[in-house]
Amino acid sequence: MPKITPFLWFDDSAEEAAQFYASVFKNSRVEQITRYSEAGPGPAGSAMTVEFALDGQKFTAINGGPAFRFTEAVSFVVHCETQSEIDEYWDKLTADGGKPVQCGWLKDKYGLCWQIVPTALLRLIEPDDSARVARVMREMFTMVKLDIARLEAAAKG
């Protein structure tokens, strides 16, 4: 079975970003750093690639220069069981220059997009009750950070 690893392009902050992400998520760590040599193209000794794992999901980051930036076309979903988990991830990922967006989406200080989503949302929008789904979706569209209690209240009508 093939292994698929998200590969993230940073200008020059891959090592810093990997350390940050490993501090945000439990059971996470930076696993390996490959550094540029005198041959370049990056400064000798600086991180070229950084392999890291976030709660078992492997990632690779590269310091590739300013040619590419993250966009909202790619995001990572963090499934949360409780409001305190949502609050914790939200606060950590929006810290130091991150930006809240809407409907559980945020952009961290490196420009990477995340969706902080309660697992309860999937249960609340099951298609067996279209009126409930409409109420939950209407309520969700008014939110920036998702609030489980408000979503559940909307589901009850």
Does residue 139 sit in the same domain as residue 90?
A: yes
Whether the Cβ atoms of residue 113 and residue 125 lie closer than 8 Å to each other: no
Does residue 78 sit in the same domain as residue 42?
A: no
Q: Which of 33, 51, 68 is the last residue of a domain?
A: 68
Alpha carbons 91 and 95: distance in angstroms, whole number: 6
Task: Tell me the β-bridge partners of 59.
Answer: 52
Does residue 89 sit in the same domain as residue 14?
A: no
Whether the Cβ atoms of residue 59 and residue 51 lie closer than 8 Å to each other: yes
CATH number of the domain bearing residue 88: 3.10.180.10
Mean pLDDT calculated for residue range 57-81: 96
CATH number of the domain bearing residue 48: 3.30.720.100
Task: Tell me the β-bridge partners of 113.
Answer: 75, 107
Q: Which of 12, 33, 68 is the last residue of a domain?
A: 68
Does residue 105 sit in the same domain as residue 153?
A: yes
Q: What is the pLDDT of residues 110-135, one digit of tens each?
A: 999 999 999 999 999 999 999 999 99
Report the number of distinct structural domains present in the chain: 2
Percent of the chain whose pLDDT exceeds 70: 99
User: How confident is residue 40, by pLDDT bands cut at 50, 70 and 90?
Assistant: confident
Alpha carbons 85 and 72: distance in angstroms, whole number: 23
Does residue 40 sit in the same domain as residue 62?
A: yes
Does residue 59 sit in the same domain as residue 122?
A: no
DSSP 16-71: HHHHHHHHHSSS-EEEEEEE--TT-SSPTTSEEEEEEEETTEEEEEEE--TT----
